[in-house]
Amino acid sequence: MRKGVFTVIKYIQPVKAESADGLVAQVYTQIKQDFGALVEPFTLHSPSPKLLAGAWIACRESELAGNVRRDIKEAVAATVSTINQCPYCIDAHTIMLNATGKRSVAHAISNENYNNISDPKMREVVKWALATRSPGSEILLAPPFSQSDAPEIIGTAVFFHYIDRMVSVLLSETPLPSNRHWLKNTLKLTASIFFSRAIRRSKPLGNSLKLLPEANLPTDLNWAKTNPTIAGAFARFAAIIDEVGTHSLPEKVRNCVQKNVQAWNGENSGLSQQWVEQAISEFDDASKTAARLSLLTSLAPYQVDEGIVLAFRRYSPEDDKLLRALAWASFTVARRIGTWLYAPE
């Protein structure tokens, strides 16, 4: 934990900026240039360089670059984080909304007063983001944005359904120096001034794609196919996720998680873990620890505690193994959510 800073990365040791080389150094350079700082939701991926690159590419090309207004995509990021109960990401992306000049929108999302958003387009997109865990809802079937804007907006939502889970497990509750409510507004405004220059900086489309080789876009990510940059970004990320999943989790564990994710329709699982224990009852001890971690990360990340992580590390002690298991589980459910989201006809 950095002195005087509230945020801490738990369970793993990220690569420090001064120690970075190779692919990690290349990604870190882009993050500092385009995001404005080396923030923990990116650096926590650094024990697995290709995973770091994949996450950065998916985020940069959907949320940071493109033709859709940045404030709209930041509102999507913050709103998705509210339904995923990720306080770190709510704080982080209402800070970024402040940096775009949309302080009233940031305040409305922080306080879940969505009807107080005066911009009708912004308000409708926020309502769409709130519905992204409600498959078949009317607003998902008739989204409030154009077909050309859809890949950027859907891509931002899908990425945040991924990153919220990673952050819930691996980070503390806020990126701010204090979590005291009476200090938060002042701290957020101060942080937004720091990031405002990076938000205004030009970001050429596709500049991050060179970090990883081309890959085929899986059919469950077809929402991206009309935008070659977004398609290229998520195809690369999906390829890396598939690779790290194969190397970090047994096939029977992955099949168990996929079966449960396919049966899930966005509902909260509650506090009971009986469903998890039932799903893994026939596994050996090593597979049980991996499946328990993966199932909870995908469908109930707020239940992943130190005991769950330490049990997994008893059989897989390396940082990159833990990181890869978490990433595979998180993106598996994000991909599922993406199949519920549609571009307008």
d(CA 227, CA 192): 30
Which string of b and e fits 210-236 if b means at least 16 CB within 10 Å? ebbeebebeeebebbeebebbbbbbbb
Task: Please report where in the chains the tokens 């190779």 appear, as a residue.
Answer: 22
Instruction: Check: CB of residue 154 under 8 Å from CB of residue 337.
Output: no
Planar angle of CA 196, 198, 201, nearest 5 degrees: 115
- Cα–Cα dist 299/271, whole Å: 11
* DSSP string across 4-24: T----B-SS-PPPGGG--HHH
Selecting among 59, 86, 89, 256, the annotated active-site residue is: 89
Biggest CA–CA distance in the chain, Å, is 55
**Catalytic (active site) residue 256:** no
In the DSSP assignment, the letter for residue 149 is T
Among candidate residues 147, 113, 152, the one with its CA nearest the CA of residue 130:
113
What is the rounded distance in angstroms from the CA atom of residue 286 to the CA atom of residue 119?
52
Catalytic machinery residues: 89
